[in-house]
Amino acid sequence: MLKAPSYEAFEKALISLEEAVARPPSNDLERDGVIQRFEFAFELARKSIRQCLIALGRVDVSPSPKPVLRDAHAERLIDSVTEWFEFVEARNNAARLYTTQMAEEVYEAAVRFLPRARELLVRLTWATAI
């Protein structure tokens, strides 16, 4: 019998992101902290989806974000692959040297990401419950 994957790191990252977005940032440093927590949470979301897919018996799971998200959508772990692709783009933009406008856009994506990531965590846990 396979052991169910642990999503504890993902859950902790979401708690950290929730704390960061609990109030609007008062300066660039706080905004950039939210962006960094978003990057970390997004990467753990992707890795958690991959773990779940493997636990569900998928042996051909790509480690790349877009194929993982397509598979997650096929397994009904996420509702909108298009929306999650927007999170991929925001995550990629966060890793680049960016303008203030780009930072604001990534911040807004982080705020939109949080409830979707919470839904994902519930679905991952449910999908691999033993």
- pLDDT (tens digit per residue) in 37-46: 999 999 999 9
* pTM reported for the whole predicted model: 0.93
C-alpha span between 78 and 127 (Å, rounded): 12
Residue 37's nearest CA partner among 23, 16, 56 is 16
SS3 26: coil
Tell me what the pLDDT averaged over the chain comes to.
Answer: 93
C-alpha span between 120 and 89 (Å, rounded): 18
Cα 117 → chain centroid: 6
Q: What domains lie within the chain, and their CATH numbers?
A: 8-19+28-127 (1.20.120.330)
